[in-house]
Chains A and B, each alone.
Chain A
């Protein structure tokens, strides 16, 4: 069964610093997708970034980048130049290649940006 592990329940970072949120995954399927979602205190789920298992380059979207290390089965989210508005829960998720391609989520990391 596929599994996502986020080992940092909470992180505190100074504004403007870069932050790395850890995510490791476990799957025996050679084809999969990895996602990061942001959940502010208001509760909605906001898609941030996607990495396919066959993608040669690490994904980037503005201040977000995904540090994909396939051999280590890790997909860490890097946020550069953090802002107060980045304070939220962050979830790593994996999409199964087979079947309905549901997302399997990790437990999440609560990121707090301090001024």
Chain B
């Protein structure tokens, strides 16, 4: 069964450094999302992407964050200057159609030192 693939599984970065989280959504999916889960807390929406542009973003998704779909398969989340509070699990999700459930990747655990 097709899966959403995220790399790396764990990223350790010094505060202030840039980090890029990578995702390969399921190939025929059209809607893409990034979510964040701080340890022990609920999953929070960051941003959604459709038709090669951001369709919605949350208050968390400030100017430090950006997303890109550089080719037909990858979907990336960039954090320009990481802060300690960016430490979290980051999930990529995708779906093909409006009514279908979102399928999540296994997540990238980001640790900021």
Contact = CB atoms under 8 A, between A and B. Distances in A.
B48 A100 contact: yes
Nearest to A35: B101
Contacts, number: 59
A25 interface: no
B33 interface: yes
B44 interface: yes
Interface string B31-42: 101010000011
Contacts of B102: 35, 47, 103
A49 B43 CA distance: 17
Interface in B42-72: 42-45, 48, 50, 55-56, 58
A42 B107 CA distance: 10
B102 to A, nearest CB: 6
Interface in B76-113: 89, 91, 93, 98-99, 101-107, 109
Interface stretch (A15-23, A71-79, A104-112): A104-112
B42 A102 contact: no
A97 B104 CA distance: 19
B104 A45 contact: yes
Contacts of A101: 31, 48, 98
- Looking at B45, B48, B93, B101, the one whose CB has the most chain A CB atoms below 10 A away is B101
Interface of A: 33, 35, 37, 42-47, 50, 52, 91, 93, 99-108
Interface of B: 31, 33, 35, 41-45, 48, 50, 55-56, 58, 89, 91, 93, 98-99, 101-107, 109
